[in-house]
Structure 1
Amino acid sequence: MSQEMTVAVPDTAPPRPRAHRRWRVLSLVLAAFAALSAVRLFSGQDALTAAGTVQTMLAYAVPIGLAALGGLWAERAGIINIGLEGMMVFGTWFGAFAAWSTGNPWAGLAAGILGGMAGGLIHAVATVTFGVDHIVSGVAINILSVGAMRYLSVLYFMDAPGGGAGQSPPLPNFPRVGLPLVETALGPVHQTGWFLVSDLAGVVIGLTTGMSAITLIALLLLPASYWILWHTRFGLRLRSCGENPDAAESLGVGVYRHKYAALLVSGGLAGMGGVFLAMVASSVYQEGQTGGRGYIGLAAMIFGNWRPGGLAMGAGLFGFTDALQVRGQGPAVHALLLLMAVALLAVAVWQWRRRRIGPAIASLAVAVLLGAWYALTDTVPGQVVIASPYIATLLVLALASQRLRPPAAIGRQWRRKSG
C-alpha cells in the first residue's frame, strides 16, 4: 500500500512554479501577438507588423534594453542606479571620440564601455565605500556627465571639420549582419497579408536582416546575463548581496567586491547603449542624445520585475510604439487604440475572475472609452502620436505594478559589521 501511494504522488503533484510561470508568459506573448495580427487585419494598418517596423523597433529598443540590463545588474546587487542616464552620456561621448580619432568603430565601442564603467565606478565609490544615498549619487552623476561632456566637446570637437560645441564630426559605422536568404524566402509570405502567418514572417525578416553588429551583441547579452546571474556561483553571490547582505557576509561572500563588480558591469552596459545611440541610431555624437533613455530603461527593468526576459519585453514595447510613431504616423497609432482596448478588456475579465471588482470595472471603462475613440475618429492628434511611447509605458507599468518583487535590500546603505 505504501509503495502504491508513493508512486501516485508524482502523478498528482502540481507542476513546478518556474515551469508554470514560463508557460504563462509564453501564452501571454502569443495572445498579444495574435491580438496585434487581428488588429492589423481589421484596421488595414500593415505597418503594425511590417519588417521595417520590427527593424526600427530594434533601433529604439536596444539602447533602452542595455540601460535596463545595466540597471538589473546594479539593483540585483542592492544598488539603485538612477545614474544610468549619465553613464549613457559618458558612453556616447567617449565612444564618439575614440571612433572619430582612430577611424575604428570597435575602438569607439571599447571606449564607450570604459566610459560607462568609469561612471559606474564613481557610483560605486560614493554608495558602497562612502555610503552616500543612492539617489543623490545617481543624480549627481547625471548632472556631472552633461557638464563634463559639454566641456570636452568644446575642447576637442569645436575646431574639427563637421564638429561643434555639442556635436562630433561624422563617425564610422559598424558592419551590418543578417540572413538575406530569410528575406528572399519569407518575403512573398509577408506580402500575402494572411492572419498570423504574414505577421510572423514580417517579424522574422525584421529580426534577421539589416542588423548592426552591435545590435546582435546586445541581443546576446540578454541570455548571457540570465545565465551568469541565475546559473553561476558568482551570480548567486551577487544576488545574495541584494537580498540579504548580512547573511551573505556571514557566509564569506565579499559583499563590497560584488557590489563594485555589479556597478562596473552596469555602467559598461549603459555606456554600450550610449555608443549605440551615437554610432548606430545616428552617425554623430550630439549633446542631449540620450533623451532620457536611462530613465526609461529603469522603467523597463521595473516592468520586467528585475528579470532579463521581462525587461526585454518592456524595452520592446517602448521601441515598438516609438517605431510606429516614426513609420506608421497617426493611422498606425490610431490602430493601437483598438489594441489597447482589447488588452484592457482581457485585463477586466481576468480581474473579474479573481474577484477584484473595482479594477475590473475600471479596466472595462477605459477599454470602452478607447474603443469609442477608435470608432468615432480616423486619426489621433499629433501630440498623442509623439507621446504614445510614454503613454504605453505608463499604462503597462500601472498594470504590472501589483505583481512586482524588487530585491529585498535594494537601496540599503549597507556597512560591514565590525568584529
Structure 2
Amino acid sequence: MSATTVATKTAQPPGRPSRGRLSLPWILLIIAGALALASAVRLITGANDITSVGQVSGALRLAVPIGLAALGGLWAERAGVINIGLEGMMILGTWFGAWAGYQWGPWTGVLMGIIGGALGGLLHAIVTVTFGVNHIVSGVAINILALGATKYLSKFTFAEAGGSAKQSPTIDPIKSITVPGLSDGLKTLNDKHWFLISDIAGFLGGVVTNISLLTIVAILLVPLTWWILWRTAFGLRLRSCGENPVAAESLGVNVYQYKYIAVIISGALAGLGGVFLSEVAANIYQEGQTGGRGYIGLAAMIFGNWMPGGLALGALLFGYTDSLNVRSGGENVHALLLFIVVLLVAAVVWQALRKKYIPAVVGAAVAALLLWWYLAVDEVPSQFVSFAPHITTLLVLALSSQRLRMPKANGRPYRKGEGG
C-alpha cells in the first residue's frame, strides 16, 4: 500500500469523510437562498442599499483580509498547529507592507508584508513544533510581540519619513479594475430595485466595479488552496500530519517539515491580509489597523469547518455585516434584524424536525425577541451597529458548532518517534 493511499485514509477517517463539508452545489444554493431572502427583506423594509453595488463592493473589500487570515488558519490547523497568532502576523504584514510600500512601491510592499507575516509564522513553528510550547500560549505571545515591535519600529521609521509614530506616509495605491460597460449596465439594473434581479445585478456589479488586483489575487488563493490541499500528494501528506502524525511518520512523512511549511504559509497569508489593509483599504499604516480581524478570520475558518469554500462564505458574511455598519449604520442593521429573524425561524423548524426541542425553543425565543426589537424601533442604536460584526461572529459560531469537525490531532503536542 502506498504512502499516499494510507495518508488519504489517515486524513479522512472511515465513516466520517464528508461530515459538515460544504460542496460547491450547496455553497451556490446557500448564496442563492441568502440573496433571495435579502431581496425580500429589502422590499419589505425599503433599505435598498443592503444589496447595492457599493454595499457589495465594500463588503468584498472588508472580507478579503478576514478571508486571508482564515486561509492562513486553515493551512496551519490542517497540519495540526493552532494559530492564534494570526492577528500578530497580520500586524507584521501591515507594518512591513507599509514600510516597503511607501519607499519602493506597493508591490514591493506586498512582498515584504508576506515576508513579515511568514517570519511570524516561522517563529510560531519554532516555538510550537520544535520546542513543544502550548499553541495558544505561543500565539498570544506573538500577538503581543508583534504589537510591541511595530510600535517601537514606527518611532524611528515612519516618524522620520513624514509620518508619525502611529501612522506611515501615504502609499501609492495598487491598481483597481472596473469593467466599464458591464459595471454601468449592472448598476442601472440594480437601481431599478426589482425583486431578485436587481439584487443579483448588485452582487455581480460589486465584483466588477473598482476591484483591486490584490483582491483578485486573494480570491484566486481560495481555489488554489483547495486544489493543493485536496488534490495533490503534498496536500494529503500535510493533512495527514493534522489527523494522525504518528501514522504519517510511520510511512516516511517528515512531520516536522510539513508542519513548518504549513505554519510559515499560514503566516504569509495572514501577512498578505495585513498588506491589504495598509495598501488597499487605507493606503497608509495605522496603529491598531487590524482591529481583531485575525481573530475574526479564525472564526470564519471554524464556521467553514476547516474548508476553503466554507471559510470564504464566513469571511463574506463578516465583511458584509461590517460593510453595513460602515456605509449606512443603523438603518441597514435594522433591516438585518428582520433577515436574522427569518433565518432563526428556519433554524427552529429544522431543529424541531430533527426532534432537538431545546435548541428549537431557545432559537424561537431569540427570534421573538429580535422581531419585537425590529417592530419597536425604527433604527438600531449606534453602539449595537458598531458591535454588529462581533455579535455576528458569536451567533454564527453558536449555530454552526454542532456540525464542526476539526483535524483530529489539531493542537496536540507531537514528538518524533513517539509512536514507536
Using the size of structure 2 for normalisation, the TM-score is 0.93
Where does 1:4-403 land on structure 2 (aligned, <5 Å)?
Answer: 22-102=24-104, 104-161=105-162, 163-403=163-403
Distance 1:321 1:383 in 2: 14
The alpha-carbon deviation at position 181 of structure 1 amounts to 2.0
CA deviations on 1:134-184 (whole Å, 9 max, x unpaired) are: 1111111111111111111112111212x1111111111100123222112
CA contact (8 A) 2:151 2:165 kept: yes
The alpha-carbon deviation at position 288 of structure 1 amounts to 1.1
The alpha-carbon deviation at position 27 of structure 1 amounts to 2.7
1:407 paired residue number: 407
Distance 1:177 1:365 in 2: 46
CA deviations on 1:71-105 (whole Å, 9 max, x unpaired) are: 00000000000011111111111111111121x11
- Percent identity over the alignment is 58
Quickly say closer, same or farther: Cα 1:158–1:197, change in 2 above 3 A: same
CA contact (8 A) 1:154 1:165 kept: yes
Q: Which runs of structure 1 show a deviation greater than 4 angstroms over 4 or more consecutive aligned residues?
A: 16-22
1:6 paired residue number: none
Distance 2:18 2:106 in 1: 45
Distance 1:388 1:400 in 2: 18
Distance 1:158 1:25 in 2: 47
Letter in 2 for 1:345: V
CA contact (8 A) 1:124 1:260 kept: yes
1:7 paired residue number: none
CA contact (8 A) 1:48 1:328 kept: no
Distance 1:27 1:59 in 2: 23
Between structure 1 and structure 2, the one with the greater Rg is 1
Distance 1:21 1:118 in 2: 34
1:5 paired residue number: none
The alpha-carbon deviation at position 29 of structure 1 amounts to 2.7
Letter in 2 for 1:64: I
CA contact (8 A) 2:22 2:310 kept: no
Between 60-69 and 20-29, the greater mean CA deviation after superposition: 20-29
CA contact (8 A) 1:317 1:393 kept: no
CA contact (8 A) 1:57 1:323 kept: yes
Gaps of 5+ in 2: 1-16
CA deviations on 1:167-208 (whole Å, 9 max, x unpaired) are: 111111100123222112223221111110000000000011
Letter in 2 for 1:90: L
The alpha-carbon deviation at position 395 of structure 1 amounts to 0.8
Report how many residues are paired: 402
Using the size of structure 1 for normalisation, the TM-score is 0.93
Name the SS for the 2:166 alignment partner: coil
Distance 2:26 2:177 in 1: 33
Gaps of 5+ in 1: 1-15
CA contact (8 A) 2:50 2:324 kept: yes
